[in-house]
Amino acid sequence: MQDVLILRIVFGFLAAIIAVFSVMAVTSRRILRAATYLLFVLFATSGLYFFLNYSFLGAVQLLVYAGGIIILYVFSILLTNTDQESRAPIFSLRRWLAMLATFGGIALMIYLLLTNTWPEATMDTSAEVNMRVIGHTLMGSEKGQYVLPFEVMSVLLLACMVGGLLIARKRS
Amino acid sequence: MEPIISMEYYLIVSSIMFFAGIYGFITRRNLIAILISIELVLTSTDINFAVFNRFLFPHQLEGMFFSLFSIGVSAAETAVAIAIIINIYRNIKNVEVRNIKKLKD
Amino acid sequence: MEYSILILILPLLGFLTLGLAGTRLKGKTAGYVGTALLALAALTAYCTAAQYFNLPRIDGIRPSLRPFNWEWMRFTEHLHIDLGILLDPISVMMLVVITTVSLMVHIYSLGYMEGERGFQRYYAFLGLFTFSMSGLVVATNIFQMYIFWELVGVSSYLLIGFYYTKPEAVAASKKAFIVTRFADLFFLIGILLVSYFTRTFDFGLLCSGDSALFASAMGKTFMGAAVLSWATALIFIGAAGKSAMFPLHIWLPDAMEGPTPVSALIHAATMVVAGVFLVARLFPVYYFFTPEVLHGIAYIAAFTALYAAIVACVQTDIKRVLAFSTISQIGFMLVALGVSGMNGHEGTGYMAAMFHLFTHAMFKALLFLGAGAIIHTVHSNEMSRMGGLRKAMPLTHITFLAACLALAGIPPFSGFFSKDEILSAVFAFSPWMGAGMTFIAALTAFYMFRLYYNIFWGKPAEHEHPLHEAPASMTSPLLFLALISLVAGFLPFGKFVSSNGLEYIIHLDVRIAVGSVVIAIAAIFAARSLYRNGTSAVPDKMAGFFGVFHKAAKNRFYIDEIYQFITHKIIFRCISRPLAWFDRHIIDGFLNGLACITGKGSLAFRWMQTGNLQSYALLMIGGCLLLLFWVLFL
């Protein structure tokens, strides 16, 4: 029983981090701080993955996001020297409408989630996904296996790398 | 057996994240900040995939792999976007949305 | 005789080549091309005429042939518009006249228009005119005639406005077009009325004298007159517009702003007699079914002849004198048609009108071309700038004199014969009218010789450069036409053209002939004594004696001013202004209002289209949420 309580507290903690820091990430006027808050959100997200027993996914999330993307952000913020966002009118029409849409959307979603009846879910296989299974699924070419998307993804990444270099290179 | 945390709570968290991203996308004026908002939106969808997979179809792995690929795609997207932003910065010394009015000078 | 289509095709070909490729050619070359094509057309016309008039008569009547007929638009079983060629005595005669005068004018213009800008354009328009005029006379049905009638009007407009940099020429071309177009509107209404009741456009049927055809039109009345009378009267208004009958004559004197050869071709010899031709073409309809309209035509024409002759006596611009003379002579022709009967001796008038049309075309073209030669040398239209030219321009002098004698009706020139026929026809109709026409003939002789003596005799005016005879390209047409004017009177014209198609033997009425010649000679001597030396004080005294009348005649009896008053003061002010107001404020206002509402509405929606991706995202999210809301709760 105690285990369950602790786990619930942990989940509440992660959820609170996500909710608070995602809101802060989009409201902070300092871009570098926003990036840092994003990092916290992403950490918490990987925590959720661990919580769901998707350790591999959580690890990837940590590696790619926290280790790669956030670094890119920080570098670009420093390179473009625009830490401070220009001051917008606090209550412009667009901001009001955006808030309306946001709160309306959240309210709608929560209503929907809480009133919906989900198909019968069995939690009997909440076990960790075997690493061997993940490897086979990723590299197999059978039905339900993903070698083709995997290869496409690698080509995409290569293309992005080349494209990024091409776009950002200094022109003489 | 009742799960420790029911599925709705995961989804509520992810939708808060999603709408925070939307809000940021609409209101932010800095390109990098907008990109951060997009990142939030993408991540929230990743959570949804994983959660649906775990709770509704626990015998399959589609949701997890979709999240995996989505992470890869968002990494690629970020790389290109940041390259573009840096290029814009070189041209107009600024990354504010309202100053970007010309595709080509 | 299918080759007669060439008479139409060759000038059209000239128009198209010169019009499309003219600027690539040198001016002279263009002129030669146009002239060569027209010479071929004239040759074809002569062949057609020779072959046609040698065809055997059927029951003593010349046949009317249709070598070519193409159904163009079929509306109903009976009502269809054809394009074709109708050969009968008057159309063949007209073809000969048109191509001859046109050929002469083409040759003449090689000299007259030398060095003008737009030489190619000029020849292209001449080709267009010849094509449309030929198409008019060979029309097989009244609608084809109407089509070519308008084409003739257009080419006349183009040629009057040839010097388009001159404001007077532009105004004159506009005036000519509007006045004739106004008359053509009535023509069209007349055509529609006739075709509505008779269910045919075809001349062959219309002129067959079949009263069953017109029964329905005769039976209905409108404002106290039969519908058919209205229709033929309306058709005559169209003819009057083209033929410059009073009060629609006002465009013809102004049309003299065009190049002089054009005046010779269009405004003396061919186009202005289209009205006469039209009445002649529909003569059986007028004669059998609406004789009252025919008589009305005679009176209007007689009045026009008198009016124009009086005005011609006091004009000082030689081309205007000739223009009024043309109006007067067309009046003669229409009087002859108006008083004509159908059979035997009563048909004199018809024959005389056609005969006079033929001879008048020749000598009036000659007069205009001669005047052109004089203007070419003197560089002025005013008589006061001329005088004593007979030594400098002997050839022009001789040919001009021949034409004047022909117009005055002195034997043996052609005008004598045709005018004498007209006078005897008129005397047979009404002695009073005959006397009046004889008086007009005397006036004709008087003003022609006033013109002649003023130009060729009297005191020479000062000129800064030596006067010279016109070049051979100009004098040869003059000589040719003078020759025709001299001998054409001896043609047995009644053998070729007559009202009922039977052979008609002309015999001179000696009393009328002698009387008219004596009066004409008296008028010539009066003119000689007044104008020969250019020093006589009598003309001024006479002008003083007639006072107001002289002034009025000089101002053409203020007809133009009356038109001006009617159009500007009454039509423009009372009709056009309110219409313009209605157009500007109500119709335009409605459309502007629509545009304004659209514009305002668009402005109201414009904030959506910022071009800002974030706004679009906001709208999209809002839309999605609204849809979700709608699906969930409504």
The neighbours of chain A, by the rule of 3 or more Cβ pairs under 8 Å, are: B, C
Q: Which residues contact residue A15 at a Cβ distance below 8 angstroms, ignoring those fewer than 6 apart?
A: A44, B9, B13
Q: What is the pLDDT of residue A121?
A: 62
Q: Which chain C positions have a beta carbon within 8 Å of B27's beta carbon? A: 614
CB-based contact A106 B33, cutoff 8 Å: no
Q: Are A95 and A88 in contact (CB under 8 A)?
A: yes
Using CA atoms, how far residue C214 sits from A137, C116, C125, in Å, is 100, 53, 40
Question: Can you tell me the distance from the alpha carbon of C242 to that of C252, in angstroms, rounded to the nearest whole number?
Answer: 9
Which candidate, C476, C325, C330, C320, places its Cα nearest to that of C399? C476
- How far does C584 lie from chain A, in Å, by closest CA? 43
| Three state DSSP letters for C126-152 | HHHHHHHHHHHHCCCEHHHHHHHHHHH
Q: How many residues make up chain A in this entry?
A: 172
Domain count along chain A: 2
In a domain, A104, yes or no: no
Q: What is the CATH number of the domain that holds A82?
A: 1.20.120.1200
Q: Report yes or no: B22 at the C interface, CB cutoff 8 Å.
A: yes
Q: H helices of C83-199, where?
A: 89-112, 119-137, 142-160, 167-198
Q: What is the pLDDT of residue A172?
A: 64
The neighbours of chain B, by the rule of 3 or more Cβ pairs under 8 Å, are: A, C
Looking at the structure, do residues A8 and A67 belong to the same domain, yes or no?
yes
Which candidate, C327, C282, C262, places its Cα nearest to that of C101? C262
- How far does B1 lie from chain C, in Å, by closest CA? 31
CB-based contact C632 A105, cutoff 8 Å: no
In a domain, A36, yes or no: yes
What's the mean per-residue pLDDT of chain B?
Answer: 87
Residues of chain C with pLDDT under 70: 22, 344, 462-464, 534-545
Question: Can you tell me the distance from the alpha carbon of C350 to that of C280, in angstroms, rounded to the nearest whole number?
Answer: 7
Q: Are C109 and C264 in contact (CB under 8 A)?
A: no
Looking at the structure, do residues A2 and A86 belong to the same domain, yes or no?
yes
Give pLDDT tens digits for A112-137: 888 888 777 665 556 778 888 888 88
Structural domain range at position A75? 1-91
Instruction: Say which of B22, B27, B97 has its CB closest to residue C621.
Output: B22
Question: Taking CB atoms and an 8 Å cut-off, how many pairs form between chains B and C?
Answer: 12
Place of tokens 């059998």: C288
Describe chain A by its helix, strand, coil percentages, rounded to 5. Answer: 75, 0, 25
The secondary structure of C521-580 as a DSSP string is: HHHHHHHHHHHSSS--SHHHHHHHHHTHHHHHHHTGGGHHHHHHIIIIIIIIIIIIHHHH
CB-based contact B25 C617, cutoff 8 Å: yes
CB-based contact B25 C614, cutoff 8 Å: yes
Q: What is the pLDDT of residue C388?
A: 74
In a domain, A78, yes or no: yes
Q: Does domain B7-98 have CATH number 3.90.650.10?
A: no
- How far does C586 lie from chain A, in Å, by closest CA? 41
Question: Taking CB atoms and an 8 Å cut-off, how many pairs form between chains A and C?
Answer: 20
In a domain, A97, yes or no: no
In a domain, A105, yes or no: no
Instruction: Say which of C615, C625, C632 has its CB closest to residue A101.
Output: C625
The count of other CB atoms within 10 Å of the CB of residue C86 is 25
The four Cα atoms C455, C446, C422, C226 give a dihedral, to 10 degrees, of 100
Place of tokens 């007077």: C168
Q: Report yes or no: B26 at the C interface, CB cutoff 8 Å.
A: yes
In chain C, the residue whose alpha carbon lies closest to the alpha carbon of B26 is C614
Quote the pTM value. Answer: 0.67
Q: What is the pLDDT of residue C346?
A: 76
3-state secondary structure of A28: coil
Question: Can you tell me the distance from the alpha carbon of C509 to that of C241, in angstroms, rounded to the nearest whole number?
Answer: 33
In chain C, the residue whose alpha carbon lies closest to the alpha carbon of A116 is C632
The count of other CB atoms within 10 Å of the CB of residue C574 is 10
Q: Which of A93, A94, A109 to probe the C interface (max C CBs under 10 A)? A: A94
Amino acid at C425: A
Count Cα neighbours of C477 within 13 Å in the Cβ-side half-sphere.
Answer: 34
Which candidate, C309, B27, C225, C419, places its Cα nearest to that of A86? B27
The count of other CB atoms within 10 Å of the CB of residue B63 is 22
- How far does A48 lie from chain C, in Å, by closest CA? 27
In a domain, A133, yes or no: yes
Q: Judging by DSSP bridges, how do beta strands C80-87 and C221-222 pair with one another?
A: unpaired
Does the structure show a pLDDT above 60 at A2? yes
Output the CA angle C372-C376-C379, nearest 5 degrees: 115
Q: b or e along C22-46 (b: 16 or more beta carbons within 10 Å of the residue's beta carbon)?
A: beebebeebbebbbebbbbbbebbe
Does the structure show a pLDDT above 90 at B18? yes
Q: Which of B4, B22, B74, B95 to probe the A interface (max A CBs under 10 A)? A: B4
- How far does C605 lie from chain B, in Å, by closest CA? 20
User: For a pLDDT cut of 70, what percent of chain A falls above it?
Assistant: 91
Q: Which of A97, A112, A114 to probe the C interface (max C CBs under 10 A)? A: A97
In a domain, A48, yes or no: yes
Q: Report yes or no: B20 at the C interface, CB cutoff 8 Å.
A: no
Q: Judging by DSSP bridges, how do beta strands C221-222 and C65-74 pair with one another?
A: unpaired
Instruction: Say which of A56, A72, A103 has its CB closest to residue B78.
Output: A72
Give pLDDT tens digits for A4-52: 888 889 999 999 999 999 999 998 888 889 999 999 999 999 999 998 8
Looking at the structure, do residues A80 and A136 belong to the same domain, yes or no?
no
Q: What is the pLDDT of residue C459?
A: 73
Domain ranges of chain B: 7-98
Describe chain B by its helix, strand, coil percentages, rounded to 5. Answer: 75, 0, 20
C102 backbone dihedrals φ, ψ, rounded to 5°: -65, -40
Q: What is the pLDDT of residue C598?
A: 92
Looking at the structure, do residues A80 and A135 belong to the same domain, yes or no?
no
Question: Can you tell me the distance from the alpha carbon of C135 to that of C146, in angstroms, rounded to the nearest whole number?
Answer: 10
In chain B, the residue whose alpha carbon lies closest to the alpha carbon of A38 is B36
Instruction: Say which of A97, A98, A108 has its CB closest to residue C628.
Output: A108
